[in-house]
Amino acid sequence: MSKRRIGILTSGGDCPGLNATIRGVVRSCYQLMGEDNVEIVGIADGYYGLIKDMCRVMNPSDFYGILTQGGTILGTKRTPYKMMTVVEEDEVDKVKEMKQTYNKWGLDCLLTLGGNGTHKTANLLSTEGLNVIGLPKTIDNDIWGTDVTFGFHTAVDIGTEVIDRIHTTAHSHSRVMVVEIMGNKAGWLALYTGIGGGSDIILIPEIPFTPEKVIEAVRVRAEAGKPCSVIAVAEGAMDREEALLKRKDRIKKRAEAGEVTCTSRVARLIQTGTGIETRAVVPGHMLRGGSPSAYDRILATQFGARAAKLIKLGKYGYTIAKKGRDITENKLIDIAGKARLVDSEGEMVETARSIGTSFGD
Ligand code: F6P
């Protein structure tokens, strides 16, 4: 068997499980093809590193002890897809440079670990003739064609713990606590952490809320002797009026009102609408930090093993997915540019509603 040179990069926002996935794919490649027949080329800082030729040959020892390690040993960067085909002031043709780096290093294939933007560029490179395999990462869980992405469940665990801790302090002070959960376009993380942590109200972008309904839900609880309420708000949540606006107009409108985020807006609305002392909490990037959960370590290993099988078969232009109990793959071209959003009529929303959780609608 001739030696395979496999390039690996991690792109976009980091999340727990990137290293576990790298380890999974590399170890599986060593097992399937023999350590001497595989050479791993690590590309630093995502597509930026591919453009700038920031590559190095890695040794098997580079992958020891990384199963539990948060972040990414390769480093990552956001290089927006929409800029990939735009020649900026530096006059660099990014696609051409990426192809050149790929060819210079004699890569047989390129593994791209990332979210929706990463997959769009992966598909672009695939249509340009490179052998690409994607691996679905993101705490947002919004990649089309897979039931779950690695990183999501760890973030759910962290978010749930945040909400648990917020509950006790909310209770002591008889306050309303509004917790911002990452997720700009998709509300999966807020929905799951909201259910897992027992939030009284969950606000997500897919279900635009009515401010009066949110205030009403808090007031009804207070009148029933529960002055403390915990609200999980997805970063990208919006009310019905805001939902009619373009994103940039929404941001402008909020800035004019002195409210940068939906969370701060909801907190103000509740405090003025109910008179109950209200605080906003933003765990932010804590949701993405640290060691992956057991679930994500296992999923990352399954995804990595599947990617190694595709490499052995020479089956490129795919991204790995989990559907039901199966680990499988989708064509990059079929999933690129699509996002998997929360179904407002779906089972998870119905479950939350069935226990009395309000979505403010
Ligand atoms: O895509 C993952 C994510 O964590 C989103 O939930 C969030 O909106 C965004 O990244 C934050 O990006 P950054 O780390 O660049 O601030």
Site to probe by mutation for ligand 1, drawn from 15, 182, 342 as the one with most ligand atoms within 8 Å of Cβ, is 182
Sheet-wide strand order for 318-323: 55-58, 38-43, 4-10, 109-114, 132-136, 318-323, 326-331
Q: What is the pLDDT of residues 137-174, one digit of tens each?
A: 999 999 999 999 999 999 999 999 999 999 999 999 99
Alpha helices in the chain (DSSP H): 18-33, 46-51, 81-84, 94-104, 116-127, 152-173, 188-196, 211-223, 240-243, 247-256, 262-274, 294-313, 332-335, 347-354
- Residue closest via CA to ligand 1's atom 11 equals 13
- Residue closest via CA to ligand 1's atom 10 equals 13
What are the φ and ψ backbone dihedral angles of 41, each rounded to 5 degrees?
A: -110, 115
Q: DSSP letters of 297-322?
A: HHHHHHHHHHHHHHHHHT--SEEEEE
CA of 139 to the centre of ligand 1 (A): 9
pLDDT score recorded for residue 89: 83
How far is 328 from 87, CA to CA, in rounded Å?
36
Lining ligand 1 with CB less than 6 A are 13, 78, 115, 138-140, 182-184, 235, 288
C-beta of residue 62 within 8 angstroms of C-beta of residue 93 = no
DSSP 228: -
Index of the ligand 1 atom closest to the CA of residue 78:
15
Q: What is the pTM of this model?
A: 0.97
Beta bridge pairs of residue 39: 5
- Residue closest via CA to ligand 1's atom 6 equals 183
pLDDT bin (cut points 50, 70, 90) of residue 1 is low
pLDDT bin (cut points 50, 70, 90) of residue 242 is very high
CA of 143 to the centre of ligand 1 (A): 14
Index of the ligand 1 atom closest to the CA of residue 288:
4
For 214, 228, 238, the CA distances from 209, given in Å and listed in that order, are 7, 20, 7
In the set 14, 45, 108, 140, the catalytic residue is 140
Index of the ligand 1 atom closest to the CA of residue 235:
8
Sheet-wide strand order for 278-281: 201-203, 229-234, 176-181, 278-281
CA of 285 to the centre of ligand 1 (A): 8
Least confident of 84-98, 154-168, 209-223, 318-332: 84-98
What are the φ and ψ backbone dihedral angles of 111, each rounded to 5 degrees?
A: -100, 125
Note if 140 is an active site residue.
Answer: yes
pLDDT score recorded for residue 264: 94
Q: What is the pLDDT of residues 279-313, one digit of tens each?
A: 999 999 999 999 999 999 999 999 999 999 999 99
How far is 35 from 27, CA to CA, in rounded Å?
9
CA of 182 to the centre of ligand 1 (A): 7
CA of 188 to the centre of ligand 1 (A): 14
How far is 152 from 139, CA to CA, in rounded Å?
4
Q: What is the dihedral of CA 240, 244, 247, 249, to 10 degrees?
A: -110
